[in-house]
Structure 1
């Protein structure tokens, strides 16, 4: 019997896969996107759920069948079509992120945050910076769900309300830290600038109408 839950979509570890991060338990499940058989011999394309049209960052309600070795998505619906993008070795890192990181270092802190504003002083988003530590980098932790992005999104939602966002997880060429930029408007100028600057083109979104 399929179990219903709310999940954040993350990139999968292999081609034709995605991770679904449980919003309650923060446990990831790897699912096939269809077009190839999973380890259990089942094919998600046969479930009728449009798994292949999901994009990293989407918040979804999904019913998962756990009777197979790799869970099968029986049904899925998009709650909020936020988009995540990940880029490593970026050069240059945008100025606000560099400033925020320098402030963290000067204060001996491992993380810091700054509100992002446009030239008219309007708030357009927020940036968070995190020091790298350990063998696995912060960017990998965010991408794999080991360190969920949910608390950062929730913090923005508390002050700005719930809405689809664009989230950019970036690590500079020199390493040292990872920046998470959250734009208030998924289709706003800041989001488009980030996509162009860091070669993170917006994907097609068949499941989202009028977005």
Structure 2
């Protein structure tokens, strides 16, 4: 299997425009701990669309998760997908809000995969570098076989008490700052974001594929048996 995590920088996610500007891993970590979205966009990020239960959203202004009612919506919430950035009008006249209307602003997709195997060498190396430096996270760009930047890789220490993986999944530790950072460098576009926890559960990998539906994202989906969902609203 080819090493899809091939990269040349294990301390910072380098600006892929080639001007040499580097963004520190420590800064990204501090932001992801609960800082505000850098572009201060309004709207909601879709976190989960369960078959039973309400849709879980992240309010981009407050960074607080919102769980909607199970039924009573005037909009097709069942067609939402985790990762979508949406504009939504919520009716708060009931304890659990319903969705009056919605529109998809950017159809980014989130993928969460637990107990993954294999873990690619570059992810392990990036984590080993973090531990050797006494850091709880690290980051680097990823490149394809033509040495073109195709994504950004982050590794975070797993929290055995509260669960870093679970916090990313339920929105209590938002992925927004990491996605915003990529959009600042590359321009706003739909991405595919993969949150992966290896079997050993020592750390969590967050990889942002720059191109939705691109070869990098497709390879990740194939590797971790994560079929791309249908998208009726796209």
TM-score normalised by structure 1 residue count = 0.88
Structure 2 counterpart of 1:43: 72
Matches within 5 A, 1:156-175: 156-175=182-201
Structure 2 counterpart of 1:117: 143
Structure 2 counterpart of 1:94: 120
> Offset of 1:14 from its aligned partner?
7.1
Q: Which has the higher contact order (CA 8 A, sep 6+)?
A: 2
Structure 1 counterpart of 2:207: 181
CA distance in 2, matches of 1:73, 1:176: 38
CA distance in 1, matches of 2:76, 2:121: 39
Structure 2 counterpart of 1:35: none
CA distance in 1, matches of 2:226, 2:68: 24
CA distance in 2, matches of 1:164, 1:185: 7
Runs of 5+ unmatched residues, structure 2? 1-41
Q: How far does the alpha carbon of each residue in 1:47-76 deviate from its partner, in whole angstroms, 9 at most, with x for none?
A: 1x1111000000000000111121100000
Structure 1 counterpart of 2:46: 9
TM-score normalised by structure 2 residue count = 0.79
> Offset of 1:97 from its aligned partner?
1.5
> Which structure features the higher share of strand residues?
1
Q: Matched residue of 2:126: which SS?
A: helix
CA distance in 2, matches of 1:131, 1:93: 15
CA distance in 1, matches of 2:156, 2:51: 26
CA distance in 2, matches of 1:13, 1:197: 24
Aligned residues: 193
Q: Matched residue of 1:152: which SS?
A: helix
